Amino acid sequence: MRAYAKYFAIFTMIFLITGSNAFPQVGDIFHPSQEKEKLIAALKYSQVDTEEDTGFFYSKRVRRAFLMSLAVPGAGEFYSGSKLKAAVFAGLEASFWALYFTYNSKGNRLVEEYKKFADEHWDLKRWYLDGLLNDLTGLKDSRSETHVIWIEYGGQEYPAIDDSLDIYFPGEWEDMIKHEEFEPVKDDEYYENIGKYDQFASGWDDFLEYNERSDTLFMSPNRDKYLSMRWDANKAFEVATAFVSAIMFNHVISAFDALITAKHKEAADRNKFSWNMAIITDYRYKNPVRGIRLSVAF
């Protein structure tokens, strides 16, 4: 087998158009009345006898290279002999994973930091008692309580809303809060609510210092710091998520690059199967289409 296609079988299929034209007759060829028509037919079909190559590549190499890089970026390029591109894609993959773990770890660390800060500066008892001193927190009117945190007592969880507590602990839940018999359920919703919504602003230990009047509700420094800490943590997770997307794109791009690289590799050192077909014409006949020539080479 050689790099260039070699015709090893050429065969011609002649399809007879009509029985009467199977073989040329002397009168058929030289009859004067048919010369003009034959000339037109010759001109009409003279361009038909053209050949076009259509190549088909049958190999598992291209598919294997594609799947290898889809699984491990750079693997398909290395398999196809392109070590430089393999190093580039593998290097990007390693870098993206390293950056993902870095920012994801940073996000987790910042979450622990803002949770610790909240535990030190926000208190359930203070939230209720100081909130009653302010008209804008909504604690004086349960209808204004648009968001909920949950509290735990005796292994059961209850929504920290006046109407609900009146049902479960009628006439005693306020004293239970003052004596710190309830514990807040510190889930993700809890840590979001205590910083995000004014309804829980009175739980911060510097709330009254900046909101002495009952008709004002200013952002206290500790609450503001807490929100900034949460923002930093969320940004770290967003960056980590962006690198996950970059990892996915690196897999897909490397896979298609490996496919192209493998196909180019095959163009030089693999077999090629091709065929061409042409229509055979003979202008001497009334119907000049005399057959079809099919050639195969590989």
Confidence at residue 146, expressed as pLDDT on a 0 to 100 scale: 72
Residues with Cβ within 8 Å of 203's Cβ and at least 6 positions away in sequence, in order, are: 122, 123, 124, 126, 127, 130, 131, 194
What value does the mean pLDDT take over residues 192-213?
93
Closest by CA to 179, choosing from 144, 128, 228, is 128
pLDDT score at 297: 56
Q: What is the pLDDT of residue 17?
A: 38
- Please report, for the chain, the start and end positions of each structural domain, with discontinuous segments joined by +: 7-57+272-297, 71-122+204-270, 140-198
One-letter amino acid for residue 69 of the chain: S
Angle among Cα 213, 192, 187 to the nearest 5 degrees reads 125
pLDDT at 153 over 70: yes
More confident residue, 170 or 279: 170
Q: What confidence tier does 3 reach under pLDDT thresholds 50, 70, 90?
A: very low
* Amino acid, res. 290: R
User: What's the whole-number average pLDDT of the chain?
Assistant: 80
**pLDDT tens across 31-72, in order?**
555 555 555 555 444 444 444 444 444 467 888 999 999 999
Tell me the Ramachandran region of residue 292: left when phi exceeds 0, alpha when psi lies from -120 to 50, beta otherwise: beta
Is pLDDT above 80 for 250?
yes
Other CB atoms within 10 A of residue 287 CB: 14
- Please state the pTM of the whole predicted model: 0.67
12 pLDDT exceeds 90? no
Q: Are strands 273-281 and 289-297 parallel, antiparallel or unpaired?
A: antiparallel
Residue 178 or 36, more confident: 178
pLDDT, residue 23, reads 40
